[in-house]
Amino acid sequence: MEIRLGWPGTAPTRLAVTMRTPGADFELAAGFLLSEGLLDPDQRPASVTYCRDASVTADQLYNVVTVELDSPPRRAPAERFTTVSSACGVCGTQSLDELLEATPDPLPVKSTFASQLVASLPGRLSEEQPLFARTGALHAAAVFDFAGNLLLSREDIGRHNAVDKVAGARLLGRATFDQDSILCVSGRIGFDIVSKAVRARLAAVVGVGGPSSLAVEVAEAAGVTVCGFAKGDRFVTYSHPERLTGPSSADRSFTDQ
């Protein structure tokens, strides 16, 4: 899917092309802009539409999404935007520098959630994966509140796309949640996943896999709680365990590899 971005005085131009699972395309486009720091978490686009330019062929009609803003983006799009892999989101030295420079103040610990909740979330996420049940080939992301209520979930062939879709759903007013929410992902917790949680101002990330050392570093700096290897009744907390109440595993068994 091609994502185009325009604002007053600037005609829509290609920003990125990503391999995705069709569905929630508008959410994906909006969430991608948020993840890349072009929009603020409370900045709703003026419009998100499928492009109907004469240059778009019939077979690509629903593969080009145009996002129009009513004011310039919060920063200029990076030159690196071209093709985005479905296997990885924000990558590279330039994107890391951009994220760390633009990272807002660390999220304060305003409230806590029960440690017993953490290990149950991946199983509950799997119950919201009908396409994975049919194919065994898709990832998913979901947002839960601190009481454990499921707020929304999305599937996509790309882990980062699934996260962009849930973030975009809030941006477009299709879901409501605040920073005291938990992002649960179906795979490992890479830097790209944590960076998207930081951009969306989500206080916690839970995954069935482990985090990278860079993901933990960013989470520590941004005030985000990261819990990995969540399965059965066990998990490992890697950053900001003060958000958890009750018994928890606070091992920091990550490496720099």
| Active site (catalytic) residues | 88
CA 203 and chain centroid, separation: 12
Instruction: Please name which of 137, 70, 118 lies closest in space to residue 235, comparing C-alpha atoms.
Output: 118
Quickly list DSSP for 171-185: HTTS----SSEEEEE
| CA atoms of 2 and 156, how far apart (whole Å) | 16
| CA atoms of 5 and 12, how far apart (whole Å) | 5
DSSP-derived pairing of the beta strands 234-239 and 83-84: unpaired
What b/e readout covers 2-17, taking b as 16+ CB neighbours within 10 angstroms?
bbbbbbeeeebeebbe
Backbone phi, then psi, for 177, in 5-degree steps? -160, 155
